[in-house]
């Protein structure tokens, strides 16, 4: 597949200078459409070995992006997995070449609903009637987790890498990890699916639908063509984020962090960027309310509503056994990939029971699989938080896999 590697200014509403690969001929999608051209924004950390055998691909979750281990160019916050990726860390950039790309359908430089649809022209009154390409919006074709992986595969091959030492990801990133192992088994030496499942459950589909309906109910949604009015469905998208964020935590974590503590309501919610809260009691609101409102208000500054719809729908259609009459073992029969499946005791979004479904399937497929359930009260997001047992698990598995792969690059783990 022909591609160009660019680092100049891309067409992105966030106006960030992304490192990106461009595939003019595009990708064939599971829905039957050909999406062209396709741009994939990505970041790399560490040095690729002369043998090109030390690459680790990190797959991000629903609202993540490629900025794993550096200051985010939009939020100014540390990278979302900075505590795990870097020199001497569990994913050691002194030893490994780490890649992370923004998923297809995303809004941080990769082709998605906010990208220009080159097949459609409109006339922009703000530019003296000049013809411009409209964003895809809701006309962006439906995609699957496997389509995201196809785009990553194109990027990896363009980087000159024939085989990945490891693919790792949590939540939706874990779904991508499984699709990598199923679709390109010869390219994956080790796979580490974290806090994930081989399918999206009815409960999770239900949560996603409530989030989508919140966006649809926002008057600024405008049928998905909100750019025409220069606005975004901020309230709906914020509520969607608030709803989802609850599922990432646990009752224990919420109680420990907030309990029933209250705080003063902001005198002017709009001035502070907070969502409006007209039902405060004597000017007091619960701290957990304030926290969720902050999560929602900050999220809309970096994420596109149409991307949220596209990606949540891709997650909903994830079922790695769908083409095998529900047999989750079938995609992995004959695989030589080494697996480490990780779950957390308090994760009720992707509970351990679903990880066990995956582990049993891998056992039936005679795959080499390790399974670790981490005792944690931090909920689904535990893999993003300070969790020493998790860190030791990842470090240990990567170290062992590197020995089996015969890697001798950089300092020992």
Distance CA 234, CA 305 (A): 8
Q: Could you confirm whether 153 is annotated as catalytic?
A: no
**Number of alpha carbons in the 13 Å side-chain half-sphere of residue 198:** 24
SS3 16: coil
Tell me which of 316, 347, 355, 381 is the catalytic residue: 347
Reading the block at residue 202, the tokens are 């009815």
CB 328 within 8 A of CB 356: no
Question: Among candidates 328, 360, 338, which has minimal Cα distance to 404?
Answer: 338
Closest among 5, 49, 28 to 158, alpha carbons compared: 5
CB atoms within 10 A of CB 125: 8
65 is an active site residue: no
Indicate the DSSP class of residue 2: -
Catalytic residue among 101, 110, 380, 381: 380
Can you tell me the distance from the alpha carbon of 97 to that of 410, in angstroms, rounded to the nearest whole number?
11
Q: Which of 101, 110, 115, 171 is catalytic?
A: 171
Q: Judge whether 110 counts as a catalytic residue.
A: no
Q: Which residues contact 236 (CB under 8 A, 6 or more apart)?
A: 214, 215, 216, 217, 218, 220, 221, 305
Among candidate residues 171, 178, 179, the one with its CA nearest the CA of residue 207:
171
Neighbours of 159 (CB within 10 A): 17
Q: Please give the positions annotated as active site.
A: 171, 347, 380
């Amino acid at each position: 597949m022909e591609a160009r590697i660019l680092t100049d200014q891309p067409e992105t509403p966030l106006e960030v200078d992304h490192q990106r690969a461009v595939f003019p001929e595009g990708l064939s999608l599971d829905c039957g459409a050909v999406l062209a051209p396709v741009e994939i924004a990505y970041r790399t950390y560490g040095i690729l070995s002369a043998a090109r055998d030390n690459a680790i691909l990190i797959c991000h979750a629903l609202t993540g992006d490629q900025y794993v281990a550096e200051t985010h160019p939009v939020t100014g916050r540390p990278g979302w997995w900075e505590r795990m990726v870097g020199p001497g860390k569990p994913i050691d950039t002194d030893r490994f070449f780490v890649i992370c790309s923004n998923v297809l359908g995303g809004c941080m430089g990769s082709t998605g609903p906010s990208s220009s649809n080159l097949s459609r022209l409109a006339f922009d009154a703000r530019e003296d009637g000049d013809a411009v390409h409209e964003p895809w919006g809701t006309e962006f074709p439906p995609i699957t987790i496997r389509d995201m992986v196809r785009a990553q595969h194109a990027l990896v091959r363009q980087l000159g890498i024939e085989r990945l030492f490891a693919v790792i990801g949590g939540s939706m990133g874990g779904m991508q990890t499984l699709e990598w192992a199923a679709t390109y088994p010869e390219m994956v030496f080790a796979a580490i699916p974290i806090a994930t499942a081989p399918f999206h459950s009815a409960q999770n589909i239900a949560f996603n639908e409530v989030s989508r309906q919140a966006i649809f109910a926002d008057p600024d949604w405008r049928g998905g063509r909100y750019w025409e009015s220069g606005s975004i469905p901020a309230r709906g998208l914020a509520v969607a984020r608030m709803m989802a964020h609850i599922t990432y935590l646990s009752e224990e974590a919420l109680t420990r962090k907030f309990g029933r503590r209250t705080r003063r309501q902001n005198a002017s919610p709009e001035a502070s960027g907070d969502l409006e809260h007209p039902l405060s009691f004597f000017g007091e609101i619960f701290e957990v309310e304030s926290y969720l409102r902050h999560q929602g208000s900050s999220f809309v500054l970096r994420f596109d509503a149409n991307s949220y719809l596209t990606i949540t729908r891709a997650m909903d259609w994830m079922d790695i056994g769908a083409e095998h009459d529900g047999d989750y073992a079938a995609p992995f029969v004959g695989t030589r990939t080494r697996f480490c499946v990780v779950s957390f005791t308090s994760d009720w979004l992707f509970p351990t029971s679903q990880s066990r479904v995956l582990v049993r399937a891998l056992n039936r497929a005679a795959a080499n699989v390790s399974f670790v359930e981490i005792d944690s009260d931090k909920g689904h997001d535990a893999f993003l938080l300070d969790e020493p047992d998790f860190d030791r698990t990842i470090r240990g598995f990567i170290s062992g896999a590197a020995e089996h792969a015969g890697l001798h690059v950089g300092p020992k783990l």
